[in-house]
Amino acid sequence: MRKLIVILATLLIAFSLVQPAHADDSIRVFYAGPDGGVKTALELAKFVLVDDLAQADVIVLNGVIPDPEAVRARTEEGAGLALILGPDLTEAQVAAATGIPLTLTLREDAVSLTSLDVDDPLTTEIIWNGAPQVRERFEAQTPLSSVQPLVTAYEDGEWILWQARPNEFVVNAFLNDANPQIQEWGYFNYLVYHLVERAAGRTPLSFAEYPVSPVPHAAERNFLWAILGLMLVTTFAAFILVRRHSLKHPEALDQIVSDRTRFEVREEATEWEQVGFHRPLGGFIVALAIGLVLFIPLIIYQNLILPSFILPSAQALGIWGRVTQFFNLAWYFFDMGTSVAFIKYLSQYRVNDPRRGIQFGQFFIWWQALSGAVQVAIVVGLASTLAPRSAYALYAWSIAIHAFIQIPGFYQVFRHAFNGFQRNDYSRLLDLALSVFVPMLVQPIFVGLMYAWGKGHPSFGGAFGGLLGLGLAAYAAELTTFAWGLYLYRRVGYNAKVLFLAHFDWDVVKTSFRFGVFEMLGSAAWSFGQAAEIAITQTRLINYTEIWGNWGMAQNFIFAFNVTQTLNDGVMPAISEAISSGKKILSQYYSAMAYKYNALTSAFIGAVLLAVAPKFILGSTGVEFQRAALYVIPLTIWGAFQFPSWVGDNVQLGANKPWLKSILVFSEQVIRVVLAWILLARFQVTALIIAYFVGLTMKGVAAYFINHRLCFPQRFYVWQSLLAPILAGAAHFGILSLVNGLLWKGEQLTSVLIFFIGILPSFPLYAFLYGLFGGWDAATLAELKDSVALTGGARWLARWGFYEPTALGARLSPLNNRFPISIRAAAMAEARELTEEKVKL
């Protein structure tokens, strides 16, 4: 918490240095119109507001024209004009004020904005394809050819902003109480300033140079650089001191367990110390049981509470989604795979040399701390210098704040340690904490505070302030999860202190990098694909910020499929432990069961989301997010078929062949990016869906056959892992669709109700259907029962929500035991042998 307070104070001080300076206070402006965004923008620019038309250098009219003839007379004398149309204006008034004959047609349909390819600063300094949609406006038409349209509607070419004469500009979109989303846009204040400067015959400052623009300026940059320099010095000094202490005390590495009594009761005497698939399965059931309960409030929070009440801005949510997506590439690169190497080698060496496994954890921590300080310095430097002068100007502060997550960078160490020790219940709890329930606790606090701060600082605005709050909340979530992980680690009896020492040698460093670099390249290839997708859509996708906000809302539902990764994350160290000890049949069993449970879970989630998600979005969110109801359907189908690719990745990592993952992930991303590049201009967001499907399908199929040949023989049991899930999912979808037809009324209450029914009460029904369609044999059903017993506080829910219904379906099924997992007996024999080989901690 102390670190969070320091970072929050640092950023608030930096923001407080923003001065509402101005480029030119000699311009006198006559303004007529309501108080609101336009007038605030004029005040921020420090233009001199006058009440007499005769004294004005520029006339700004927002929805009203008090005296059209007087306005025209003053402009003919040399005054500039910035006319913003409004619903109460008439064609005669506008024609009299501008001297241009025209017709006006009232329009209220949503249109996306795009600039014409003309050499004008208004089209180069402002990134119009990132602008929010506008709705209330006049469509203007004139027989004159001398006027110059600058910004038009993407859908039909309708003028939105046009230049009547060199010093006269007309905005067709209403900016009184209408189109609030455009007035929250980060470029809005600059747009008003730019129009006035141009109307006065001046050359405006660039967006990056304009002091009111929400980007880092000189004072903020200098302050941030000073803080980062101090962080670099203190981090490297701390490492030198800890390294010296560790080398003087090699015996400290023996103290992996600090509380022998706790360890014997909570670890050594439990099934968690016995080798077998029950360990990753037990952790998965913990995540599934708790995740199903939490997924309902999570979706309600992400798709109703957050966008409707806490941060009602699709563009802010879209920008944050793109920032986190883009920077996965940087974080994966600097991680160099050390986190996955820690998990892999801790599980491998736990059998016969746990001291060495702990050294991989030590290296992970200090690599993260040292490289994290460098990462933040580089990223903040780029964000504060280059970003403001690029198409990513509005991202600058979000990027800088997001970078601070890498200080100190090792907050997930206990989650990784539990993964390596295969204490999968605690590892999965930390997964859920970081990604589900902690964000729901901290986001309302930090986003709410920063939204209020932005409202009080109009150069940023409420939406932009809330965007910054998302960054602070992300750091708070990391820190909170770290603190809980420390508590759980000590609760089991492990010694947390030994992880933060520095006993590792060069062999550990080289081994970690040898494995980790290839793993990093695979993960970085995925992140590169995400970053390339952003770069492509930034220039080719019209209305990309709002589209990305809708896309992000739809992706919130697809996040549900990630619950299967909680199984895969446990399978990887299990395979590593088995294959490094020569247990190939056990490794084969792990991968076969991973396919089975991934398919079982994906079919359920897919059926529920197809039946419920579009209706929930339509009934619970505003007009800004209606496109998400369309996006969620193909994305759900895509999400349901992700698991073969994910299982393949973890087989490759566990088998110590991370280079295979790199090659296959890179190939998938090349296919996806090339298809998006080719198709985006024509098909817009549909191109991304096509690219996703083609790339993922090819990778999943290729991974299975390549792993079979190069890692160890693979087995895929078609009935249990494909046909039974499809049949159960199809039946489940049909039942839910009937229920939805009876209950859903198109508003928030029934939308929440059908979502609740789909996720929680309906899972026992799906489990029953899976058993009824022959998804089990006697041995795997018994294994499920044993795994349920390991779920602790989630045991009751896991038993009655999963095991008992599916066991009932199996008892009633004529297909039960017809399609068994035939290698299980041999695999369990190898598991017992491996358990006997493990050394005592």
- Chain segment 158-174, per-residue pLDDT in tens: 999 999 999 999 999 99
Whether residue 151 contacts residue 132, with contact meaning beta carbons closer than 8 Å, is answered with no
DSSP 8-class letter at 304: I
Whether residue 379 contacts residue 471, with contact meaning beta carbons closer than 8 Å, is answered with no
Whether residue 685 contacts residue 748, with contact meaning beta carbons closer than 8 Å, is answered with no
Whether residue 336 contacts residue 653, with contact meaning beta carbons closer than 8 Å, is answered with no
3-class SS of residue 326? helix
Question: How far is Cα 366 from Cα 502, in angstroms, rounded to an integer?
Answer: 8
Whether residue 309 contacts residue 453, with contact meaning beta carbons closer than 8 Å, is answered with no
Structure tokens at 11: 């950023």
**Position 315: which residue type?**
Q
Instruction: Return the pLDDT at 193.
Output: 97
Instruction: Give burial (CB, 10 Å; 0-12/13-18/19+) of 686.
Output: middle
Q: What is the CA radius of gyration of the chain?
A: 30
Question: How far is Cα 653 from Cα 656, in angstroms, rounded to an integer?
Answer: 5
Instruction: Give burial (CB, 10 Å; 0-12/13-18/19+) of 42.
Output: buried
Instruction: Return the pLDDT at 630.
Output: 83
Whether residue 49 contacts residue 83, with contact meaning beta carbons closer than 8 Å, is answered with no
Distance of CA 635 to CAs 561, 624, 691, Å? 11, 19, 12
Domains in the chain (CATH in brackets) are 21-199 (3.40.50.880)
Question: How far is Cα 341 from Cα 349, in angstroms, rounded to an integer?
Answer: 12
Could you tell me the end-to-end alpha-carbon distance of the chain, in angstroms, rounded to an integer?
Answer: 33
Residues in the chain: 841
Percent helix, strand, coil in the chain (nearest 5)? 70, 5, 25
Instruction: Return the pLDDT at 221.
Output: 86
Question: How far is Cα 199 from Cα 709, in angstroms, rounded to an integer?
Answer: 70
Residues 6+ apart with CB under 8 A from 297: 440
DSSP 8-class letter at 178: S
Question: How far is Cα 345 from Cα 362, in angstroms, rounded to an integer?
Answer: 12
Instruction: Return the pLDDT at 25.
Output: 64
3-class SS of residue 357? helix
Burial 559-579 (b: 16+ CB within 10 A, else e): ebbbbbbbbbbbbbbbbbbbb
Question: How far is Cα 283 from Cα 429, in angstroms, rounded to an integer?
Answer: 9
DSSP 548-584: HHHHHHHHHHHGGGGGGHHHHHHHHHHHHHHHTTT-H
Peptide bond into 408 cis (omega under 30): yes
Would you tell me how many other CB atoms lie within 10 Å of the CB of residue 424? Answer: 31
Whether residue 561 contacts residue 642, with contact meaning beta carbons closer than 8 Å, is answered with yes
pLDDT digits over 501-552, tens only? 999 999 999 999 999 888 888 777 777 777 777 777 766 777 666 676 777 7
DSSP 589-650: HHHHHHHHHHHHHHHHHHHHHHHHHHHHHHHHS-GGGTHHHHHHHHHHHHHHT-HHHHHHHH
**Position 175: which residue type?**
L
Question: How far is Cα 689 from Cα 165, in angstroms, rounded to an integer?
Answer: 44
Residues of the chain with pLDDT under 70: 1-25, 328-330, 538-539, 543-546, 548, 622-624
Instruction: Return the pLDDT at 769.
Output: 96
Nearest to 177 by CA among 34, 39, 58, 69: 34
Whether residue 257 contacts residue 840, with contact meaning beta carbons closer than 8 Å, is answered with no
Question: How far is Cα 183 from Cα 590, in angstroms, rounded to an integer?
Answer: 55
How many Å separate Cα 248 from the centre of its chain? 44
Question: How far is Cα 107 from Cα 31, in angstroms, rounded to an integer?
Answer: 25
As beta bridge partners, residue 80 has 58
Residues 6+ apart with CB under 8 A from 528: 329, 669
Phi, psi at 148, each rounded to 5°: -125, 105
Instruction: Return the pLDDT at 544.
Output: 65
Question: How far is Cα 356 from Cα 660, in angstroms, rounded to an integer?
Answer: 26
Nearest to 732 by CA among 636, 605, 819: 605
Return the sign of the alpha-carbon dihedral for residues 736, 739, 741, 746.
negative
With residue 62 as reference, give the H or E element that holds it: strand 58-62
Structure tokens at 773: 């369609």
**Position 617: which residue type?**
I
Instruction: Return the pLDDT at 543.
Output: 67
Instruction: Return the pLDDT at 121.
Output: 94
Nearest to 766 by CA among 797, 798, 736, 795: 736
Question: How far is Cα 8 from Cα 637, in angstroms, rounded to an integer?
Answer: 41
Instruction: Return the pLDDT at 294.
Output: 85
